[in-house]
Amino acid sequence: MMEQQAKKLRIGLLGFGSMGRTHTWAVQNIPFFYGPLPFSAQVSGVCTTTVEKSECVAAEFSIPYATASEDDLINDSDIDVIDICTPNNCHFETLKKAIRAGKHVLCEKPLCTTVTEAEEIAALPLQAGQVCGMVFNNRWLTPVLRAKQLISEGRLGKILTFHGYYLHSSATDTARRAGWKQDKTVCGGGVLFDLGSHIIDTLGALCGPMIEVSGMSQIGYPVRTGRNGDTWQTNADESFYLMGKTADGACGTVTVGKLQVGTNDDFGFEIYGEKGALRFSLMEPNWLYYYDNTAPDSPIGGERGFTRLECVGRYPGLIFPSVKAPAGWLYGHLASMHAFLSAAATGTEFHPSLADGLYVQRVMDAAYRSDENRGVRTEVLPCS
C-alpha cells in the first residue's frame, strides 16, 4: 500500500508575545504528543513590530524567516497558514488580508474589536479547502471535552441553569502598569473581551448559545500608571457580571474579572440540568465533577453525590505522555531538566544529587531485607 504523504503546513506567525511563544511551543512539540500525523507543521516565518525582534525570535526558535511586515508573510507563497497572535485591534485588517490571500487562518480570541468588523470577517468567502478558525483553547481541556460528551449523551437532561467564570487578580496590584488589555482602544473591551470571550465560548458550546443578556461592568481602580509611565485613567472593565438566557430557556450568570485575589487563573463552570449537574475549575484541571440526579437517593442518600471523574491526560489521539498523566506532570520533568542543565552550564551543585540517589537506594534495600526477614526492623545504612 502506498504511504500517504504528510501534508506540509508552513506557518507564518504574527506577534510573538505570550501567545506567539505559546503557539510556537505547541507547533514545535506536537510530534511528541500525537502520531502518526497527517501533516508536518513548522513555524516558517515570524513577524513582530521590528525586524530586530523578529530576527531574535527566529534565531532562538529556529524559524527560518523573520520580518516586520505582515504583508510579506501573508503574500509569501511558501506560507500556508497565518497564525494571528497580535493585540486585538490588529486582527481585523490581518484577517481580511490573510483570508483574501487564500491562507488558512488561525486567530486568537477575540475575533475583532467590534461586531461590525467581526461580521465582515465572518462573511468573507473562503476558497475550497481553505480553513479558518479561532483559538478558544479551553474547549480542548479534557474535563470540558468530557462535559460536552455527557451533555450530548443526555446525562444532564434539559439544562436549566449555569454559572461560568474566569477570574484573575492582576488588577488588584495597583503598582502594575496598565497594559494594552486594559486599554479599550486596543483590546476592544475590557476583561469581558479578554477573559469573558473564553467562558462565553465554552458555555455556548456546552449549553447552547445565549440569545439574551444583561450586564454590569466594574472598574475597581480607575487610576493607575499607564504604559508610558504617566497617570492613566482606566477605560476598560476590570470585572464584568453578565446574566444570560439560551434559546432553550436555560438561564445563568457569567462572572469574569481581574479583581479576584487568590484566583490565579480560575476558569470554570457549573451547569445544572434536570437529570444531572457538572462542575469544573481549571485550578483542579484533572477532574470533572458529575452529579447523577437519577441515581438512587436512599438509603441515607443512596448513590447521590458529586462524582469526581478522572479526565487527567485523556486527550483524544494523544500518545504521550500517558493518558493517566495528570496536568502538570510534564512540567516537573521540564523543571528538572532546566535545573540540571543550568547547574551543568554554570558548574554549580545540583540536587537531587547522586548522594540523594544513594539514600533512596539504601532505604529500598533495607525494606527488601526487612521483607525477607518477616518484617524485622532493619537499619538503613547512614549516608556519609
Catalog residues that contact ligand NAD under the rule CB under 6 A.
14-20, 47-49, 70, 85-88, 90, 108-109, 135, 137, 194
Output DSSP code: residue 306: E
**Complex with ligand NAD: residue 101 or 156, whichever CB lies closer:** 101
With 0-12 / 13-18 / 19 or more C-beta atoms within 10 angstroms meaning exposed / middle / buried, residue 61 is middle
Q: Give the 3-state secondary structure of residue 368.
A: helix
Please give the Cα distance from 87 to 65 (Å, whole number): 21
CB nearer ligand NAD, residue 14 or residue 206: 14
| Least CB distance to ligand NAD at residue 203 (A) | 16
Nearer to ligand NAD, 327 or 366 (CB): 327
DSSP 380: P
Query: How crowded is residue 368: how many other Cβ atoms within 10 Å of its Cβ?
Result: 11
Q: Which residue's CB is nearer to ligand NAD, number 179 or number 208?
A: 179
CB of 187 to ligand NAD, least distance (A): 7
Least gap, CB of 260 to ligand NAD (angstroms): 17
Helix (H) or strand (E) holding 3: none
Amino acid identity of 80? D
**Which residue, 100 or 158, has its beta carbon nearer to ligand NAD?**
100
Q: Judged by CB, which is closer to ligand NAD: 85, or 277?
A: 85
Q: How far is the CB of 279 from ligand NAD (least distance, A)?
A: 22
Question: CB of residue 86 vs ligand NAD: minimum separation in angstroms?
Answer: 4
Report in angstroms how near the CB of residue 54 gets to ligand NAD at its nearest: 8
Nearest to ligand NAD by Cβ — which residue? 17
- In this structure, are residues 281 and 307 in contact, taking their beta carbons and an 8 Å threshold? no
What do you get for the CA distance between the two ends of the chain, in Å? 63
Q: What are phi and psi of 254, to 5 degrees?
A: -135, 130
Q: For residues 10 and 109, which CB has a smaller minimum distance to ligand NAD in the complex?
A: 109
At closest approach, how far in Å is the CB of 112 from ligand NAD?
10
**DSSP secondary structure, 32-71, as one string:** HHB-S-SEEEEEEEEE-SSHHHHHHHHHHTT-SEEES-HH
Q: What count of other Cβ atoms lies within 10 Å of the Cβ of residue 225?
A: 14
Cell 500517504 maps to which residue? 4
